[in-house]
Protein backbone atom coordinates (compact mmCIF):
# COMPACT_ATOMS: atom_id res chain seq x y z
CA UNK A 1 0.00 0.00 0.00
CA UNK A 2 2.79 2.39 0.84
CA UNK A 3 5.91 3.29 -1.08
CA UNK A 4 9.36 3.64 0.41
CA UNK A 5 9.39 6.52 2.92
CA UNK A 6 12.94 7.39 1.91
CA UNK A 7 12.19 7.69 -1.79
CA UNK A 8 12.69 10.70 -3.98
CA UNK A 9 10.12 12.74 -2.04
CA UNK A 10 11.84 12.40 1.35
CA UNK A 11 13.22 15.95 1.35
CA UNK A 12 9.89 17.45 0.26
CA UNK A 13 7.98 15.57 2.96
CA UNK A 14 10.54 16.42 5.61
CA UNK A 15 10.46 20.11 4.68
CA UNK A 16 6.65 20.11 4.78
CA UNK A 17 6.52 18.55 8.25
CA UNK A 18 9.27 20.77 9.69
CA UNK A 19 7.64 23.92 8.30
CA UNK A 20 4.25 22.88 9.69
CA UNK A 21 5.52 22.36 13.23
CA UNK A 22 7.79 25.43 13.17
CA UNK A 23 4.79 27.63 12.30
CA UNK A 24 2.74 25.91 15.02
CA UNK A 25 5.54 26.54 17.54
CA UNK A 26 5.74 30.21 16.56
CA UNK A 27 2.00 30.58 17.22
CA UNK A 28 2.49 29.21 20.73
CA UNK A 29 5.65 31.20 21.53
CA UNK A 30 4.18 34.58 20.61
CA UNK A 31 1.46 36.41 22.48
CA UNK A 32 -1.39 34.89 20.46
CA UNK A 33 -4.79 33.80 21.74
CA UNK A 34 -3.50 30.23 21.81
CA UNK A 35 -0.72 31.14 24.26
CA UNK A 36 -3.06 33.26 26.39
CA UNK A 37 -5.52 30.39 26.70
CA UNK A 38 -2.69 28.02 27.55
CA UNK A 39 -1.39 30.34 30.27
CA UNK A 40 -4.89 30.67 31.76
CA UNK A 41 -5.21 26.88 31.85
CA UNK A 42 -7.90 26.86 29.15
CA UNK A 43 -6.49 23.98 27.15
CA UNK A 44 -9.45 22.97 24.98
CA UNK A 45 -8.66 25.17 21.96
CA UNK A 46 -4.86 24.74 22.11
CA UNK A 47 -5.23 20.95 22.29
CA UNK A 48 -7.80 20.91 19.48
CA UNK A 49 -5.53 23.06 17.31
CA UNK A 50 -2.55 20.76 17.85
CA UNK A 51 -4.72 17.72 17.12
CA UNK A 52 -5.98 19.35 13.90
CA UNK A 53 -2.40 20.05 12.79
CA UNK A 54 -1.44 16.46 13.69
CA UNK A 55 -4.34 15.05 11.66
CA UNK A 56 -3.32 17.21 8.68
CA UNK A 57 0.25 15.89 8.89
CA UNK A 58 -0.93 12.27 9.14
CA UNK A 59 -3.24 12.75 6.14
CA UNK A 60 -0.36 14.34 4.24
CA UNK A 61 1.78 11.25 4.81
CA UNK A 62 -1.11 8.90 3.98
CA UNK A 63 -1.76 10.63 0.64
CA UNK A 64 1.94 11.03 -0.08
CA UNK A 65 2.91 7.40 0.58
CA UNK A 66 -0.26 5.65 -0.59
CA UNK A 67 -0.45 3.66 -3.80
CA UNK A 68 -2.52 5.99 -6.02
CA UNK A 69 -3.72 3.08 -8.14
CA UNK A 70 -0.67 1.79 -9.97
CA UNK A 71 -1.32 -0.65 -12.81
CA UNK A 72 1.33 -3.30 -12.15
CA UNK A 73 0.22 -6.04 -14.56
CA UNK A 74 -2.24 -6.71 -17.36
CA UNK A 75 -4.52 -8.49 -14.89
CA UNK A 76 -4.68 -5.29 -12.78
CA UNK A 77 -6.21 -3.48 -15.72
CA UNK A 78 -9.39 -5.62 -15.70
CA UNK A 79 -9.58 -4.51 -19.29
CA UNK A 80 -13.14 -4.07 -20.70
CA UNK A 81 -14.49 -6.33 -17.94
CA UNK A 82 -18.16 -7.05 -18.54
CA UNK A 83 -18.28 -5.12 -21.81
CA UNK A 84 -19.64 -7.02 -24.78
CA UNK A 85 -18.32 -6.82 -28.33
CA UNK A 86 -21.59 -5.18 -29.39
CA UNK A 87 -21.16 -2.42 -26.80
CA UNK A 88 -17.55 -1.85 -27.88
CA UNK A 89 -18.74 -1.25 -31.46
CA UNK A 90 -21.02 1.56 -30.22
CA UNK A 91 -18.05 3.95 -30.06
CA UNK A 92 -17.29 5.27 -33.56
CA UNK A 93 -13.70 5.66 -34.74
CA UNK A 94 -12.19 4.78 -31.35
CA UNK A 95 -13.17 1.16 -30.62
CA UNK A 96 -9.83 -0.23 -31.80
CA UNK A 97 -7.88 2.17 -29.62
CA UNK A 98 -10.07 1.34 -26.65
CA UNK A 99 -9.68 -2.42 -27.10
CA UNK A 100 -5.93 -2.45 -27.61
CA UNK A 101 -4.44 0.41 -25.61
CA UNK A 102 -0.97 -0.42 -24.35
CA UNK A 103 1.25 2.02 -22.55
CA UNK A 104 4.21 3.13 -24.67
CA UNK A 105 6.47 3.18 -21.60
CA UNK A 106 5.64 0.18 -19.38
CA UNK A 107 3.88 -1.82 -22.18
CA UNK A 108 0.97 -2.74 -19.90
CA UNK A 109 -2.67 -2.62 -20.93
CA UNK A 110 -4.22 0.58 -19.62
CA UNK A 111 -7.73 0.55 -18.21
CA UNK A 112 -9.86 3.48 -19.29
CA UNK A 113 -8.94 6.80 -17.58
CA UNK A 114 -5.45 5.53 -16.72
CA UNK A 115 -2.29 7.41 -17.71
CA UNK A 116 1.42 6.77 -17.42
CA UNK A 117 3.23 9.09 -15.00
CA UNK A 118 6.78 9.93 -16.03
CA UNK A 119 7.72 10.79 -12.43
CA UNK A 120 6.35 7.65 -10.78
CA UNK A 121 7.26 5.38 -13.74
CA UNK A 122 3.86 3.64 -13.57
CA UNK A 123 0.44 3.83 -15.15
CA UNK A 124 -2.11 5.13 -12.65
CA UNK A 125 -5.82 4.24 -12.63
CA UNK A 126 -8.17 7.23 -12.98
CA UNK A 127 -5.12 9.49 -13.17
CA UNK A 128 -5.71 13.06 -11.98
CA UNK A 129 -2.25 14.64 -11.78
CA UNK A 130 1.21 14.26 -10.29
CA UNK A 131 1.46 16.55 -7.28
CA UNK A 132 4.97 17.85 -6.41
CA UNK A 133 3.64 18.95 -3.01
CA UNK A 134 3.13 15.32 -1.93
CA UNK A 135 5.65 13.85 -4.42
CA UNK A 136 3.09 11.32 -5.55
CA UNK A 137 0.39 10.87 -8.14
CA UNK A 138 -3.23 11.59 -7.32
CA UNK A 139 -5.29 8.75 -8.72
CA UNK A 140 -8.11 6.33 -8.07
CA UNK A 141 -7.02 5.10 -4.65
CA UNK A 142 -5.87 8.31 -2.99
CA UNK A 143 -7.87 11.07 -4.72
CA UNK A 144 -10.62 11.18 -2.08
CA UNK A 145 -7.96 11.21 0.64
CA UNK A 146 -6.24 14.08 -1.17
CA UNK A 147 -9.47 16.10 -1.15
CA UNK A 148 -10.02 15.26 2.54
CA UNK A 149 -6.46 16.35 3.29
CA UNK A 150 -7.06 19.66 1.52
CA UNK A 151 -10.20 20.20 3.60
CA UNK A 152 -8.42 19.52 6.90
CA UNK A 153 -5.46 21.63 5.80
CA UNK A 154 -7.81 24.50 4.98
CA UNK A 155 -9.32 24.41 8.48
CA UNK A 156 -5.86 24.34 10.08
CA UNK A 157 -4.62 27.23 7.93
CA UNK A 158 -7.69 29.38 8.61
CA UNK A 159 -7.37 28.79 12.33
CA UNK A 160 -3.62 29.37 12.25
CA UNK A 161 -4.01 32.62 10.30
CA UNK A 162 -6.58 33.86 12.82
CA UNK A 163 -4.28 32.99 15.70
CA UNK A 164 -1.29 34.67 14.03
CA UNK A 165 -3.31 37.84 13.49
CA UNK A 166 -4.24 37.91 17.18
CA UNK A 167 -0.56 37.92 18.17
CA UNK A 168 0.56 41.15 16.46
CA UNK A 169 1.40 43.88 18.97
CA UNK A 170 1.73 47.64 18.60
CA UNK A 171 5.20 49.22 18.73
CA UNK A 172 6.15 52.92 18.52
CA UNK A 173 8.47 52.38 15.54
CA UNK A 174 8.69 50.08 12.53
CA UNK A 175 12.08 48.82 13.59
CA UNK A 176 10.80 47.80 17.02
CA UNK A 177 7.60 46.38 15.52
CA UNK A 178 9.57 44.16 13.14
CA UNK A 179 11.79 42.93 15.96
CA UNK A 180 8.77 42.07 18.06
CA UNK A 181 6.62 40.61 15.28
CA UNK A 182 9.11 39.51 12.62
CA UNK A 183 8.77 35.74 13.10
CA UNK A 184 5.01 36.03 13.45
CA UNK A 185 4.85 38.12 10.27
CA UNK A 186 6.87 35.49 8.36
CA UNK A 187 4.67 32.69 9.70
CA UNK A 188 1.43 34.50 8.87
CA UNK A 189 2.72 35.33 5.37
CA UNK A 190 3.47 31.66 4.69
CA UNK A 191 0.12 30.62 6.10
CA UNK A 192 -1.61 33.20 3.90
CA UNK A 193 0.15 31.93 0.76
CA UNK A 194 -0.65 28.30 1.57
CA UNK A 195 -4.22 29.31 2.35
CA UNK A 196 -4.75 30.79 -1.12
CA UNK A 197 -3.20 27.72 -2.78
CA UNK A 198 -5.32 25.27 -0.76
CA UNK A 199 -8.54 27.22 -1.42
CA UNK A 200 -7.86 27.15 -5.18
CA UNK A 201 -6.92 23.47 -5.15
CA UNK A 202 -9.87 22.37 -3.03
CA UNK A 203 -12.34 24.44 -5.05
CA UNK A 204 -11.07 23.14 -8.39
CA UNK A 205 -11.04 19.50 -7.25
CA UNK A 206 -14.55 19.67 -5.80
CA UNK A 207 -15.74 21.22 -9.06
CA UNK A 208 -14.11 18.49 -11.18
CA UNK A 209 -15.35 15.75 -8.85
CA UNK A 210 -18.90 17.08 -9.16
CA UNK A 211 -18.56 16.61 -12.94
CA UNK A 212 -16.84 13.19 -12.60
CA UNK A 213 -13.81 14.32 -14.54
CA UNK A 214 -10.14 14.62 -13.66
CA UNK A 215 -7.57 17.36 -14.00
CA UNK A 216 -5.85 15.45 -16.80
CA UNK A 217 -9.12 14.87 -18.67
CA UNK A 218 -10.21 18.48 -18.17
CA UNK A 219 -6.93 19.91 -19.47
CA UNK A 220 -6.16 17.40 -22.25
CA UNK A 221 -9.51 16.05 -23.47
CA UNK A 222 -8.66 17.03 -27.06
CA UNK A 223 -5.78 14.50 -26.98
CA UNK A 224 -7.51 11.65 -25.10
CA UNK A 225 -8.81 8.91 -27.41
CA UNK A 226 -12.05 8.23 -25.54
CA UNK A 227 -12.95 11.93 -25.14
CA UNK A 228 -11.72 13.79 -28.21
CA UNK A 229 -14.73 12.73 -30.30
CA UNK A 230 -17.13 14.04 -27.60
CA UNK A 231 -18.58 17.51 -27.69
CA UNK A 232 -17.09 20.32 -25.62
CA UNK A 233 -19.79 19.94 -22.96
CA UNK A 234 -20.17 16.16 -23.21
CA UNK A 235 -18.76 13.91 -20.49
CA UNK A 236 -19.61 10.18 -20.79
CA UNK A 237 -18.77 9.62 -17.11
CA UNK A 238 -21.05 12.35 -15.73
CA UNK A 239 -23.98 10.79 -13.85
CA UNK A 240 -25.26 13.97 -12.21
CA UNK A 241 -23.72 15.99 -9.40
CA UNK A 242 -25.19 13.99 -6.50
CA UNK A 243 -24.28 10.60 -7.95
CA UNK A 244 -20.82 11.85 -8.93
CA UNK A 245 -20.12 13.07 -5.39
CA UNK A 246 -21.59 9.92 -3.85
CA UNK A 247 -19.52 7.68 -6.10
CA UNK A 248 -16.34 9.63 -5.38
CA UNK A 249 -16.61 9.82 -1.59
CA UNK A 250 -18.70 6.77 -0.69
CA UNK A 251 -17.99 4.02 -3.25
CA UNK A 252 -14.79 2.18 -2.29
CA UNK A 253 -14.77 -0.61 -4.85
CA UNK A 254 -12.80 -0.42 -8.08
CA UNK A 255 -15.01 0.97 -10.83
CA UNK A 256 -14.70 -0.45 -14.33
CA UNK A 257 -14.98 2.78 -16.29
CA UNK A 258 -15.41 0.93 -19.58
CA UNK A 259 -18.81 -0.23 -18.35
CA UNK A 260 -19.88 3.32 -17.47
CA UNK A 261 -18.53 4.69 -20.73
CA UNK A 262 -20.15 2.12 -23.02
CA UNK A 263 -23.43 2.19 -21.14
CA UNK A 264 -23.67 5.97 -21.49
CA UNK A 265 -22.74 5.84 -25.15
CA UNK A 266 -25.22 3.06 -25.90
CA UNK A 267 -28.20 4.98 -24.46
CA UNK A 268 -30.75 5.70 -27.19
CA UNK A 269 -30.77 9.24 -28.51
Is 131 catalytic? The answer is yes
Of residues 131, 230, 250, 265, which has the active-site annotation?
Answer: 131
The span from the CA of 225 to the CA of 17, in Å, is: 40
The span from the CA of 76 to the CA of 70, in Å, is: 9
> Contact 37/159 with Cβ under 8 angstroms?
no
What residues are annotated to the active site?
131
Amino acid sequence: MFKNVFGSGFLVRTAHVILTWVITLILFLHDTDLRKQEERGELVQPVLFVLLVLVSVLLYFAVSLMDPGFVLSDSDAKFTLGVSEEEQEMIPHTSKALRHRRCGYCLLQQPMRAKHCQNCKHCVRRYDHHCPWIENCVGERNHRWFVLYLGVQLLALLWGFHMAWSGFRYAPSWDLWLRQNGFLLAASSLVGIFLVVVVLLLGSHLYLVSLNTTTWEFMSRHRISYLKHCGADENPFDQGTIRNLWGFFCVWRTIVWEQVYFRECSDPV
